[in-house]
Amino acid sequence: MKTTTRVAVIGGGVVGCSVLYHLTKLGWSDVMLIERSDLTSGSTWHAAGGFHTLNGDTNMAALQGYTIKLYRELEEITGMSCGLHHVGGVTLADNKDRFDMLVAERAKHRYMGLETEIVGPEEIAKLAPIVNLDGIKGALYDPLDGHLDPSGTTHAYAKAARMGGATIETHCKVIETNQRPNGTWDVVTEKGTIHAEHIVNAGGLWAREVGAMAGVYLPLHPMEHQYLVTDDLPEIYERGEEHPHVMDPAGESYLRQEGRGLCIGFYEQPCRPWAVKCTPWEFGHELLPDDFDKIEESIAFAYKRFPVLERAGVKTVIHGPFTFAPDGNPLVGPVPGMRNYWSACGVMAGFSQGGGVGLMLAQWMIEGECERDVSAMDVARFGKWITPGYTLPKVIENYQRRFSVSYPNEELPAARPHRTTPMYDIFDSMGAVWGAQFGLEVVNYFAQGDEPRYETPSFRRSNAWEATAREVRAVREGVGINETHNFGKFRVTGPNARAWLDRIMAGRIPAPGRLSLTPMLSPKGRLLGDFTVSCLAEGDFRLTASYGAQAQHLRWFEMNAADGAQVENTSDSLTGFQIAGPKAREVLAACTLSDVTDIRFLDARKMVVGQVDCIVQRVSYTGDLGYEIFCNPMDQRQLWETLWAAGQPHGMKPFGMRAMMSLRLDRFFGSWMREFSPDYTPAETGMDRFIAWKKNVDFIGRAAAEAERATPPARTLMTFEVDADDADVVAYEPVFIGGEVKGYCTSGGYSHHAGKSIAYALVPRDAASPDLEVEIEILGSRRKARAISTPMFDPEGERLRG
Ligand SMILES: Cc1cc2nc3c(=O)[nH]c(=O)nc-3n(C[C@H](O)[C@H](O)[C@H](O)COP(=O)(O)OP(=O)(O)OC[C@H]3O[C@@H](n4cnc5c(N)ncnc54)[C@H](O)[C@@H]3O)c2cc1C
């Protein structure tokens, strides 16, 4: 057996084999896969082998498209068959919301180049004649849907990897992973020890146990899952062509032809987690006992939707476990806090996603970054707050919701509240309607009187409309208050702090007492963050950015660490409030003995507010006169008492995230993971105006940014006013120019201050003009939209800076 390797991939399921293949494809041949038993011995061998592109996250959908197209390539390279059946598939909708969701997905596919189609009942009858069309409104048809042979495909990946120089060691269980001081790994197996520079955990059903060998907790959990194969059915075998896949979200089932019969699987509500404490090592090539009780209701529903099933005998039952992360997406990438330890697990749809996971991980390892934003599957999207106690109910929720409609404004209830600040009960008593962000409870808005304490999930304007309008008005006309707990926050200290920040951030690092806005770039010039940097004193800097990206940001800081600059994640050890609106200065003045009249826009200083030591920053995402006031969480209630009491004479009102996201539109402020993300560059999004071109520092991404400056990118971000009706832009709606799809929206919403529906969109630079008129498809209807370039509130910045 080989005893040294550049990469040791642990696990020979479809995901491990795909990672191995992609490493060789991208140029690393000294790579090795170690499998406890035979290849496919985890979930892989008993999968139904279905694949499809549909995924609520656009990048995940694109990677699913990549995976499906890859199979032909694998067949050509290896001469092996993946057993491909490209039969197409229909996803049914039997109510308006489901249909809305499919229409919204189809709209995204337009600019992604996916040839999906919305079809009506008549076409469904032709495509999938065994469907009982009672109550069916329509369906999404995807010609790329199909199925394959799970084992053949996994072996094709393995052969292609071997052809690229990889080694595969089967019947070789990894029993320990020990890190050497230089960051490399001793992978201890039953057959001896392998010295590897990098480890990839592709342990599938055992990924938790493999992670624990290195002290890593990976938030995933196995669930039991069952599908049935019927006896031969004349309605199927007498057809001249193979029956397409049918996904029936209402019945929580997927169905396809298997031989001369059918195969149907269920995501049943009375689902069961498997191996709750740990996956037994002795679990082999085996299945779980049949369990018809838990799918009884699902089968009854399926009989109605597919009456042919009632006459069908059951030939085979496949009941096996596979793993899910709390949100159902894979866990991929460098594990935070570890060196040279990579995750490729939690892949619940290995045959739709395995290729994309392999490609992204290989790019990340070899090139240092992925070609697209992979936040939706980044293992760092969960922070240190995640525990098995949280993961389990979330995974159950995710399984149960596998086929549910996903609404843009939806808040999922399982495992909540998980983390709260000292303000939780105070805001709760004031009518807070809560959302969750990165495990933390965040107020979306405040209900009043007999307004429901629950926002109706919807693709259209929701019942939060009135409350949001009220809160926007309170800020613009008087003063509003909300928490600053959901910012990612870091403290950077030490003699080298400024030099380090100058290298990490592309923008200007401020002088003491000031703050600045700056993008953080990857070496290829993509946006990794949009930060506010404040300098309290030389050698003492504070950073704020996205709360949800804090683990990704910390991982990046640690990868680029330098002597003399200490970085501390203070996201949860610093909290506080934002006060914003024309009366904000008067409120602050009433709370402190310090003079506040000389606090200029973009000043940052330490101050005592009431009786609490605070950091006060004169900046506000509302685009209004405002202050962010940070304090220790132990002092937060005291600070609240002070600010709230001082605010009452000025009509202070609390506001939530819904109002905040409306207010930001007024001054065209972008938002992380909407306008700004690793999918985009500074010049595409206007973030280039914050790059400090004159600073004499080779900051990360400089060469790429300079190149982009010399040759501007093909697209640019613009703001549009949309003739919307009862639904506003959310994200990824296609933009038509001259009748053709030429761009897409990054986000949007309703500006309650201006009374306008607003969209931000990336459009071709050569089409961008101040009077550009476009059409934007919202829920299947093309809405006229006009470019706007003057902020709708405070265009001269008088209030902001005054
Ligand atoms: C009934 C059922 C139907 C399914 N249908 C579909 C479908 O239609 N389409 C689809 O895309 N997905 C389907 N899936 C899900 C699919 O099976 C998984 O997404 C996929 O198999 C995950 O692959 P993996 O490589 O991550 O994990 P696994 O297949 O579990 O592979 C992990 C491998 O790691 C090895 N390993 C673990 N620990 C060690 C160690 N210490 N040392 C060495 N080796 C180790 C294991 O032996 C195993 O071979 C289905 C799952 C089930 C249960």
| pLDDT (tens digit per residue) in 495-519 | 999 999 999 999 999 999 999 999 9
Distance 42 CA to ligand 1 centre (A): 4
Give the end-to-end CA distance of the chain in Å, rounded to a whole number. 72
356 lines ligand 1 (CB under 6 A): no
279 lines ligand 1 (CB under 6 A): no
10 lines ligand 1 (CB under 6 A): yes
146 lines ligand 1 (CB under 6 A): no
- pLDDT of amino acid 802: 86
402 lines ligand 1 (CB under 6 A): no
Q: Which of 66, 35, 68 is CA-nearest to residue 194?
A: 35
Q: Per-residue pLDDT tens for 35-88?
A: 999 999 999 999 999 999 888 888 999 999 999 999 999 999 999 999 999 999
Task: Give the residue-averaged pLDDT of 288-294.
Answer: 96
81 lines ligand 1 (CB under 6 A): no
Q: Helices (DSSP H) in 113-242: which residue ranges? A: 121-127, 150-163, 207-212, 234-237
Please tell me the residue having the least CA distance from ligand 1 atom 21.
44
63 lines ligand 1 (CB under 6 A): no
Distance 198 CA to ligand 1 centre (A): 22
Task: Give the residue-averaged pLDDT of 638-663.
Answer: 98
Distance 351 CA to ligand 1 centre (A): 10
Q: Helices (DSSP H) in 611-716: which residue ranges? A: 636-647, 657-666, 682-685, 702-710
222 lines ligand 1 (CB under 6 A): no
Q: Which of 732, 731, 733 is CA-nearest to residue 783?
A: 733
Please tell me the residue having the least CA distance from ligand 1 atom 32.
204
Residue 114 has pLDDT above 90, yes or no: no
34 lines ligand 1 (CB under 6 A): yes
15 lines ligand 1 (CB under 6 A): yes
Strand ranges in 512-642 using DSSP code E only, listed in sequence order = 515-521, 527-537, 540-546, 566-569, 575-580, 604-609, 612-617, 626-631
From the CA of 348, give the closest atom in ligand 1.
19
Tell me the one-letter amino acid at 454.
Y
From the CA of 349, give the closest atom in ligand 1.
11
Distance 39 CA to ligand 1 centre (A): 10
Cis peptide before 336 (omega within 30 of 0): no
What is the three-class DSSP state of 335?
coil
Distance 686 CA to ligand 1 centre (A): 43
Q: Per-residue pLDDT tens for 719-743?
A: 999 999 999 999 999 999 999 999 9
Distance 459 CA to ligand 1 centre (A): 35
- pLDDT of amino acid 264: 98
Using pLDDT thresholds of 50, 70 and 90, give the confidence band for residue 110: confident
Distance 40 CA to ligand 1 centre (A): 7
- pLDDT of amino acid 170: 98
- pLDDT of amino acid 55: 84
529 lines ligand 1 (CB under 6 A): no
Task: Give the residue-averaged pLDDT of 388-405.
Answer: 96
CA 321 to chain centre: 25
46 lines ligand 1 (CB under 6 A): yes
Distance 72 CA to ligand 1 centre (A): 22
Angle at 89 between CA 84 and CA 95, to 5 degrees: 160
- pLDDT of amino acid 99: 94
Q: Per-residue pLDDT tens for 583-594?
A: 999 999 999 999
Backbone angles phi, psi at 157, to 5 degrees: -55, -45
Tokens of 63: 């990677």
Task: Give the residue-averaged pLDDT of 353-380.
Answer: 97
Distance 45 CA to ligand 1 centre (A): 7
Distance 44 CA to ligand 1 centre (A): 4
From the CA of 318, give the closest atom in ligand 1.
1
Distance 352 CA to ligand 1 centre (A): 13
Distance 502 CA to ligand 1 centre (A): 44
From the CA of 353, give the closest atom in ligand 1.
11
d(CA 595, CA 612): 16
41 lines ligand 1 (CB under 6 A): yes
d(CA 133, CA 121): 7
36 lines ligand 1 (CB under 6 A): yes
Residue 397 has pLDDT above 90, yes or no: yes
From the CA of 44, give the closest atom in ligand 1.
21
12 lines ligand 1 (CB under 6 A): yes
From the CA of 281, give the closest atom in ligand 1.
38
What is the three-class DSSP state of 331?
strand
Please tell me the residue having the least CA distance from ligand 1 atom 48.
42
Distance 395 CA to ligand 1 centre (A): 17
Residue 797: count other Cβ atoms within 10 Å of its Cβ.
12
11 lines ligand 1 (CB under 6 A): yes
Using pLDDT thresholds of 50, 70 and 90, give the confidence band for residue 773: very high
320 lines ligand 1 (CB under 6 A): yes
Q: What percent of the chain has pLDDT over 90?
A: 97
Q: Per-residue pLDDT tens for 185-205?
A: 999 999 999 999 999 999 999
318 lines ligand 1 (CB under 6 A): yes
52 lines ligand 1 (CB under 6 A): no
d(CA 286, CA 556): 41
Using pLDDT thresholds of 50, 70 and 90, give the confidence band for residue 284: confident
Task: Give the residue-averaged pLDDT of 22-44.
Answer: 98
From the CA of 154, give the closest atom in ligand 1.
25
Mean pLDDT (the chain, rounded)? 97
Q: Per-residue pLDDT tens for 228-280?
A: 999 999 999 999 899 999 999 999 999 999 999 999 999 999 999 999 999 99
- CB contact at 8 A, 16 and 202: yes
Please tell me the residue having the least CA distance from ligand 1 atom 35.
11
Better-predicted residue by pLDDT, 432 or 108: 432
Please tell me the residue having the least CA distance from ligand 1 atom 22.
350
Q: What is the DSSP string of 235-268?
A: HHHTSSSPPPEEEEGGGTEEEEEETTEEEEEE--
Of 34, 40, 44, which is best to mutate to test ligand 1, by the most ligand atoms within 8 angstroms of its C-beta?
44
- pLDDT of amino acid 111: 84
Residue 113 has pLDDT above 90, yes or no: no
203 lines ligand 1 (CB under 6 A): yes
Taking every pair of C-alpha atoms in the chain, what is the biggest distance, in angstroms? 87
- pLDDT of amino acid 57: 86
